Structure 1
Amino acid sequence: MSDPSAEPICVVNTPAILGESVLWHPVDKKIYWLDLKGPALHIYDPATKAADVWKLSLGVPMGTLVRAKEGFILTGREGTFKVDVAARKLTPWVNPNDRAELTMFNDGKVDRQGRLWLCTSDNKETDPIGGIYSLTADGKSEIHDRGFACGNGPGFSPDGRTLYFSDTMVRKVYAYDLDTRTGTITNQRLFTEFSEAQGMPDGMTVDAAGGIWICHWDGWQISRFRPDGTLDRAIRLPVPQVTSCAFAGDALDTLYITTARVDLAADMLAKAPLAGSLFALKPGERGLPEPVFG
């Protein structure tokens, strides 16, 4: 199922410790992504190839970055922040994490209706105490499920009626039915399960045809799955820790992929010197416009 025709290219060669949460801004036409353990916000302009880094004074690891009606929303150990990139300003907002002493925000995405879905993880990523939260623009949050040592994803089907979620430490990806009107999820079911050789499922995105692209932590690849859970194809990367992905460009036909170098030994870094860098590839599919929070 490997696809050698889609060749990942390193577009920002940087040793990010834990690159994550990549997204495309269709107005300023730039790529934004986080180093959760930097902590830092990276900005890349595909037109000029210019790369910029904003070092953040926050606890680590941070969680996720999403577009909002004005600027961005960032999650961290301290809760959520409204982000003004131009002014380099963070404004504390709300903290929906009801177990902040035990868990931390990890990945998150905005659904087709503008709700922000947030995953939390156990601080040590060992106990299954993390959950799935939703947050609305008025600051109201809701807890939908618990029982995950490290929650990742999520992703949403093109019609918005299915939520995909990575239960990373047990190598499973689940699907839920999402009621687009009420914002509730039901009917958890196994979508796919990774083998040990495949690594662990991390961040994801969904393309316009409904294909689910899932990153492999410790798996050296990104894979596309059909909506029925079968593997469509896998694309190998030159680094082991593949973390998040997003379609970008005016045609949404370029897939950008973040990577990490967490606790990699010297011999592994010698094999994967680009670990932590940002990659891009043309997979042959197009993405969907990412919704704006609120």
Structure 2
Amino acid sequence: MRLTAHCVLPAAARLGESALWLAEEQRLYWLDLKAPAIHRFDPATGTDERWELALEIPLGCLLRRADDLLLAGRRGLYAVDFAGRALRFWFDPNDRPADTAFNDGKTDRFGHIWLGSSHIEEREPIGKFYRIDRDGAVTVADQGFPCSNGPALSPDGTVLYFADTVGLQVLRYDLDPKTGRLSNRRLFLQFAPEQGQPDGMTVDEEGGLWVCHWGGWGVTRYTPEGQVSARIDLPAPNVTSCAFGDEDLRTLYITSAKDDMSSADAARAPLAGGLFAVRPGQCGLLEPIF
């Protein structure tokens, strides 16, 4: 199956990222990591609220908590009050080299946050992959990545996917619900250079893994066995994150970036940095609350 996503918001984001659907608001939250801001998009009206942040770039990702959102920033995690336009520092694992930053993360169904860090210039393999427990305990689950991305979890939560962006690969781990430990690391996908680099990911209710292609002009759906089952084309080369939304969770919202394009790609992609949407036929899952 091959589909084309349409632009619902020509936002011209420098680095759009971290799409997160809140069902109770029927709105999509997302970030611009390099022109630091939290966005809230209302599909019913097409309006987008933008909250500019006085934080060091790049930002990382958004996560859900019971009564608020969490924002991973360059220096740690913050509790977010979007209505009051207020951030409150939560904590920082504080074992990271100075030239790293938090990047992408997700919450699992067993009470843990999974959060990756990356080398700022994405060259040195000093990024780590952390598990943060409900009591605030922090464990390094894996390490050695120039750029940590993804992650995504299977519908039952026992399989975790992780994108080693610079390594052009998606890894797959088993996740123990009782201990939160990862095991049985193995290669799930190996990208060819012409496919771009694996970036943000999400999973649908059937267990299909949707992988965004940085430099690859689209999103691909893979079955749990690693077979391609769908391709979504975008009129933008650098595709960064995706999340299912709307009342039926059947619209896939996709973020993109306008930075880091060649002059030729920039001429071909005037909508780069926009927010896109498509209804591919599958139903998504709500992100768990930490």
Give the shorter-chain TM-score range: over 0.9
Q: Which residues of 2 match residues 222-261 of structure 1 at below 5 A? A: 222-261=219-258
1:180 corresponds to which letter in structure 2? P
Match of 2:23 in 1: 26
C-alpha displacement of 1:100: 4.0
Q: Which residues of 2 match residues 59-98 of structure 1 at below 5 A? A: 59-98=56-95
Q: Is the 8 A contact 1:203 1:215 kept in 2?
A: yes
Residues in 1 aligned to 2:45 and 2:236: alpha-carbon distance in whole angstroms: 25
Q: Is the 8 A contact 1:152 1:168 kept in 2?
A: yes
Q: Could you say what secondary structure the match of 1:169 adopts? A: coil
5+ residue gaps in structure 1?
Answer: none
Residues in 1 aligned to 2:97 and 2:63: alpha-carbon distance in whole angstroms: 21
Q: 2:186 aligned with 1:189, yes or no?
A: yes
Residues in 1 aligned to 2:205 and 2:242: alpha-carbon distance in whole angstroms: 14
What is the CA deviation profile of residues 106-138 of structure 1, one whole-angstrom value per residue up to 9, with x for unaligned ones? Answer: 000111123111011112201111111011333
Residues in 1 aligned to 2:36 and 2:263: alpha-carbon distance in whole angstroms: 22
5+ residue gaps in structure 2?
Answer: none
Q: 2:279 aligned with 1:282, yes or no?
A: yes
1:206 corresponds to which letter in structure 2? V
Q: Is the 8 A contact 2:197 2:213 kept in 1?
A: yes
Match of 2:168 in 1: 171
Residues in 2 aligned to 1:201 and 1:117: alpha-carbon distance in whole angstroms: 17
Moved more, 106-115 or 265-274: 265-274
What is the CA deviation profile of residues 197-239 of structure 1, one whole-angstrom value per residue up to 9, with x for unaligned ones? Answer: 1000000000000000000000001000010112222111100
Q: Could you say what secondary structure the match of 2:283 adopts? A: coil
C-alpha displacement of 1:97: 4.4
- The percent of aligned pairs where both chains have the same amino acid is 50
2:257 corresponds to which letter in structure 1? A
Q: Is the 8 A contact 1:245 1:255 kept in 2?
A: yes
Residues in 2 aligned to 1:27 and 1:264: alpha-carbon distance in whole angstroms: 36
Match of 1:99 in 2: 96
Moved more, 187-196 or 100-109: 100-109
2:162 corresponds to which letter in structure 1? F
Q: 1:267 to 1:131 in 2, by over 3 A?
A: same
Match of 2:33 in 1: 36
Pick the aligned partner of 1:150 from 130, 136, 147: 147
C-alpha displacement of 1:49: 1.3
Q: Is the 8 A contact 1:192 1:230 kept in 2?
A: no
Match of 1:54 in 2: 51
C-alpha displacement of 1:20: 0.4
Count of aligned residue pairs for this structure pair: 290
2:123 corresponds to which letter in structure 1? T
Pick the aligned partner of 1:204 from 185, 201, 205: 201
Residues in 2 aligned to 1:87 and 1:140: alpha-carbon distance in whole angstroms: 29
